[in-house]
Chains A and B, each alone.
Chain A
Amino acid sequence: AIVIIVLKVVDKFRQLFKIPPLPYLEDTWWGPRNKSEEDESIKPFTINVSDEIINDLHQRLNNARPFTPPLEGIQHQYGLNTKLLTEIVEFWRTKYNWREREIFLNKFPQFTISVQGLRLHYIHVKPIDPDGLRVLPLLLLHGWPGSVREFYEILPFLTNPQPGYNFVFEVIAPSLPGYGFSEAAVRPGLGAVQMAVVFKNLMDKLGFKKYYIQGGDWGGVIVQNMATIFPEQVLGLHSNMCFIRTLSSNIKLFLYSFWPTLLLPREHADKVYPLSSKFANTILESGYLHLQATKPDTVGVALNDSPVGLAAYILEKFITWTNSDWKNLEDGGLMKKYTYTDLLDNVMIYWVTNSITTSMRLYSETFNKAQTALGITK
Chain B
Amino acid sequence: MGVVVKLFIVIITVLISWIGYKVNNIIKPPPLPRLEETWWGNGDPWRTDKSIRPFRVNISDKILEDLNYRLDHARPFTPPLEGIQQQYGMNTKLLKEIADFWRNKYNWKEREKFFNQYPHYLTSIQGLDIHFIHVKPKSIHHRVLPLLLLHGWPGSVREFYELIPLLTTPQKDRNFVFEVIIPSLPGYGFSQAAVRPGLGAAQMAVVFKNLMKRLGFEKYYIQGGDFGAIILHHLAVLFPEVVLGFHSNMCAIYTPLSYMKTALGIIYPTWFTREDHTERVYPVTKILVDRLRETGYLHIQATKPDTIGVSLNDSPLGLAAYILEKFTTGTNISYQNHEDGGLKNVYDYSDLLDNVMLYWVTGSMPTAMRLYSETFNLNHMSLGITRIPIQVPSGCIRFSNDFYSSDGILNEIYPNLLHLTDHEGGHFAAFQLPKVFAADIFTAVGKFEEFNANNKH
**Contact of B363 with A298 in the complex, beta carbons under 8 Å:** no
Q: CB within 8 A of B317: which of A297, A305, A312, A354?
A: A305
Q: Is the CB of A297 within 8 A of B78?
A: yes
Asked if B196 contacts A73 (CB within 8 A), the reply is yes
Question: Which A-chain residue is minimally distant from B318 (CB atoms)?
Answer: A302
Which residues in A have their C-beta under 8 angstroms from that of B82? 186-188
* Contact digits for B84-109, partner A, Cβ 8 Å, 1 yes 0 no: 10001111100100000000000000
* Nearest-neighbor residue (CB-CB) of B324 within chain A: A298
Contact between chains at A302 and B322 (CB < 8 Å) = yes
Question: Residues of A contacting B294 with CB < 8 Å?
Answer: 294
CB < 8 Å: which of A68, A305, A308, A313 contacts B366? A68
The minimal Cβ–Cβ distance linking A361 to chain B, given in whole angstroms, is: 7
Is A357's CB within 8 Å of the partner chain B? yes
User: Are B296 and A292 within 8 A (Cβ)?
Assistant: yes
Give the chain B neighbours of A16 by CB distance below 8 A: none
C-alpha spacing A47/B293, complex, angstroms:
38
- Assembly CA distance A71 to B305 (angstroms): 12
| A59 surroundings in chain B (CB, below 8 A) | 73
Does B174 interact with chain A (Cβ within 8 Å)? no
The closest CB in chain B to the CB of A71 belongs to: B197
Q: Does B310 contact A (CB under 8 A)?
A: yes
Q: Across the two chains, which residue of chain B brings its CB closest to A190? A: B81
Give Cα A56 to B293, complex, Å.
35
Q: Which residues of A are found within 8 Å of B300, using beta-carbon distances?
A: 287-288, 290-291
B322 and A298 within 8 A (CB): yes
Cβ of B302 under 8 Å from chain A: yes
Interface residue A54 (Cβ < 8 Å from any Cβ of B):
no
Q: Which of B88, B293, B309 has the most CB of A within 10 A?
A: B88
Q: Are B92 and A297 in contact (CB under 8 A)?
A: yes
Contacts of A305 in B (CB 8 A): 70, 74-75, 311, 314-315, 317-318
Q: Is the CB of B318 within 8 A of A306?
A: yes
Residue from B77, B81, B302, B363 within 8 A of A65 (CB atoms): B363
- Chain B interface bracket (under 10, 10 to 19, 20 to 34, 35 or more): 35 or more
Whether the pair B295, A361 counts as a contact (CB closer than 8 A) is no
Cβ B194 vs Cβ A312 within 8 A: no
Inter-chain CA distance A312–B366, complex, in Å, is 13
Partner of A298, one of B73, B89, B307: B89
From A193-201, A252-260, A278-286, give the one contacting chain B. A278-286
Against B, the Cβ 8 Å flags (1 = close, 0 = not) of A220-232 are 0000000000000
Known contacts being A185-B81, A188-B83, A292-B296, is A302 close to B321, with CB within 8 Å?
yes
A186: contacting residue among B81, B90, B196, B322, CB under 8 A: B81
Interface residues of A in 45-94 (CB under 8 A from B): 56, 59-60, 63-74, 78-82, 85
Residue of B nearest to A298 (CB): B89
CB B362 to nearest CB in A, in angstroms, measures: 11
- A301 and B321 contact, Cβ closer than 8 Å, known pairs A354-B76, A364-B88: yes
Chain A 345-360: CB-based contact to B (< 8 A → 1; otherwise 0): 0000000001001100
Q: Which residues of chain B are near A79, meaning CB under 8 Å?
A: 303-309
In the complex, whether B223 has a CB less than 8 A from a CB of chain A is no
Q: Is the CB of B311 within 8 A of A293?
A: no
Given A71-B194, A188-B82, answer yes or no on A302-B315 (Cβ-Cβ < 8 Å).
yes
Is A303 close to B, CB under 8 A?
A: yes
B348-374 contacts to A, CB under 8 A, are 363, 366-367, 370, 373
Q: Is the beta-carbon distance between B304 and A316 smaller than 8 angstroms?
A: yes
A174-189 contacts to B, CB under 8 A, are 184-188
Closest to B304 in A: A79
Interface residues of B in 277-309 (CB under 8 A from A): 292-297, 299-309
Assess the A295–B88 pair: CB atoms within 8 A. Answer: yes
Residues of chain B within 8 A (CB-CB) of A156 are: none
A306 touches B304 (CB 8 A): no
The verdict on B418 contacting chain A, using a C-beta distance below 8 Å, is no
A309 within 8 A of B: yes
Q: Is A299 at the interface (CB under 8 A from chain B)?
A: yes
Quick check: is B195 within 8 A (CB to CB) of the other chain? yes
A187–B363 contact, CB under 8 A?
no
B129 at the binding interface (Cβ < 8 Å): no
Asked if A300 lies at the interface with its beta carbon under 8 angstroms from chain B, I say yes
Mask, B110-121, CB within 8 Å of A = 1, is: 000000000000
B56-82 with Cβ < 8 A to chain A: 66, 70, 73-82
User: CB-CB < 8 A to A184: which residues of B?
Assistant: 78
Pull 22 A–B residue pairs with CB atoms less than 8 Å apart, ordered by A. Answer: A56-B73, A63-B66, A68-B309, A70-B306, A71-B370, A79-B307, A79-B309, A81-B306, A188-B82, A286-B299, A287-B300, A290-B292, A297-B78, A297-B91, A297-B92, A302-B321, A305-B314, A305-B318, A308-B311, A312-B311, A313-B307, A364-B88
Other CB < 8 Å A-B pairs besides A186-B79, A290-B292, 9 of them? A60-B314, A68-B193, A71-B197, A79-B304, A283-B303, A291-B296, A301-B322, A308-B314, A312-B311
